[in-house]
Amino acid sequence: MTVRVLFVCLGNICRSPTAHGVFQAMVDAQGLGERVWVDSAGTAAWHEGKAPDPRSSDFAARRGYDLSQLRARQAIAEDFSRFDYILAMDSENLSNLKQLQPTDGGAQLDLLLSYADGIERTDVPDPYYGNGQGFDLVLDLIENACAHLLVRIKEERGLSC
């Protein structure tokens, strides 16, 4: 059985590809690459087919994460049947995803930071228009939440490494 995990932000060029790369690295490091499928998407279609923002790629690469193969796509209603967990980066993404969500529910939909430990924020702030420091904060928040998300998924789905 494969567990399928989708990270969603607005443009799919900053926060959700960062979460995709970070979570994929954690999954691979635990030898779970064949059992956990990871993807990312944006609620907007503006950057469809584009690589991540170079600032996201650079800050991620400094921590050893490779985002170079990722390409943006828009989240669609079918993602709720294709994925088991959908993690929204902020409250606006969450409310946009709820509008896409079919009435029969499908994937478990949460804010990513609801899995974080010791962080009071609910939203991963959008770094796109800010100065470069926003990208390091995004990585700090995502690393924390993704580590705990993986522990939870392993427990819930009975995965061991």
Interface residue list for ligand 4NP (CB under 6 A): 9-15, 42, 46, 126, 128
Q: How far is the CB of 142 from ligand 4NP (least distance, A)?
A: 11
Q: Is 126 assigned a catalytic role?
A: yes
Strand partners, 108: 85
**Residue 75 in contact with residue 42, Cβ under 8 Å?**
yes
Tally of CB atoms within 10 A around 46? 12
Nearer to ligand 4NP by Cβ, of 81 and 114: the residue is 114
Nearer to ligand 4NP by Cβ, of 67 and 107: the residue is 67
Q: How far is the CB of 9 from ligand 4NP (least distance, A)?
A: 4
**Burial (CB count <10 Å: 0-12, 13-18, 19+), residue 142:** buried
Query: DSSP string of 98-126?
Result: HHHS-TT--SEEEEGGGG-SS---SS---
Q: How far is the CB of 12 from ligand 4NP (least distance, A)?
A: 5
Nearer to ligand 4NP by Cβ, of 16 and 27: the residue is 16
What are the catalytic residues? 9, 15, 126
